[in-house]
Amino acid sequence: MREETRTLILDQDLQVEAYRFKGIMQKFPNHFHEYYVIGFIEKGQRYLLCKGQEYIINPGDLLLFNPHDTHSCEQIDGKALDYRSINVMPDVMQKAVKEITGAESLPYFTQNVLFRHELTSSLKELHVQILQKEKALQKEELFLNLLEELIRTYSDVTFPERAPEPSDEVKTVCGYLEEHYTENIRLDDLSGLTGWSKYHLLRSFTKQKGISPYSDLETVRINQAKKLLEQGVKPIDAAFQTGFSDQSHLTKFFKRQVGLTPKQYMKIFEQDRLEIEG
């Protein structure tokens, strides 16, 4: 018997809904939503009718529905559907657009289907972060970057030209991250230090530093964890002392940056430590 799961999470940090359908065969009649839908198919092939236009959608295709875009869909390959999406209320979208452009407006997406689009992987990464209930900063970065790309390329919103910004604000943010790396930092916290919008902070920081605020924060945490591991602190304790949610979270980022697991790194210093203590 086919296993069917339907998951819905309201992300309190982003104020968006995340849907995941797995193994469903349901046909959806013509309908519309009062919010934006950004989604993609992971498995299965569907016939989509949107605003009178017919599409055949496949895994990797990105779907964009504006509020009140009428659409219906049904499975056409005889296989079950796996699907992920985020639902963005108009007030949340308007706030995001103001962060990105400085103007209060709602975008109208001019294309409903982006075939085999590279942003599908960005949406999946964001969706996974939401379902895993990751911390706010990483999700906010992914969310704003995704919206910026979609709005800039596929909507009627005009983007203003930005003059180069001084780096004093970025230095202030770096100092804050170094001092508060154990805390659950949000973009709102960093934005308040600079007077910039969250989007402008994210873009300016990344341009000047070469990495995003979240990546910078994780680097600070990894460097602090290395110091603790060198002193013989166990990986699980080092994780909690440096702001990681658990040992596996530390291990993931540590191995990506250092090329070793925390335990492997700690063992490098064990002999020297024994000789000093002896």
In tens, the pLDDT along 169-222 reads 999 999 999 999 999 999 999 999 999 999 999 999 988 887 899 989 998 999
Q: DSSP class of residue 119?
A: H
222-277 and 168-214 share a CATH fold: yes
The pLDDT score that the predictor gives to residue 173 is: 95
Per CATH, the number for 168-214 is 1.10.10.60
* pLDDT above 90 coverage of the chain, percent: 70
Fold classification of 222-277 is Arc Repressor Mutant, subunit A (1.10.10)
Where along the chain do its domains lie?
Answer: 5-154, 168-214, 222-277
| Other Cβ atoms within 10 Å of 197 Cβ, number | 18
* Cα distance between residue 55 and residue 48, in whole Å: 5
265 pLDDT more than 60: yes
Phi then psi for residue 12, to 5 deg, are: -70, -30
Number of DSSP helices (H) and strands (E) in the chain, helices first: 11, 10
Contacts 24+ apart (CB under 8 A), 94-99: 96/143, 96/144, 96/147, 96/199, 97/147, 97/151, 97/157, 98/197, 99/144, 99/197, 99/198, 99/199, 99/200
Query: Mean pLDDT for the chain?
Result: 90
A 10 A CB-CB count for 13 gives 20
Query: What is the reported pLDDT for 144?
Result: 96
Q: Distance (Å, rounded) from C-alpha 94 to C-alpha 232? A: 49
- Name the one residue in this structure whose structure tokens are 């999470």: 9
145-154, 160-169, 241-250, 264-273: the lowest-pLDDT one: 160-169
Q: Identify the bridge partners of residue 152 per DSSP, sorted by sequence position.
A: none
* Per-residue confidence band for 256, with pLDDT thresholds at 50, 70 and 90: confident
- Give the integer Cα–Cα distance in Å for 230 and 40: 44
The highest-level CATH class for domain 5-154 is mainly beta
pLDDT reading at 125 higher than 70 = yes
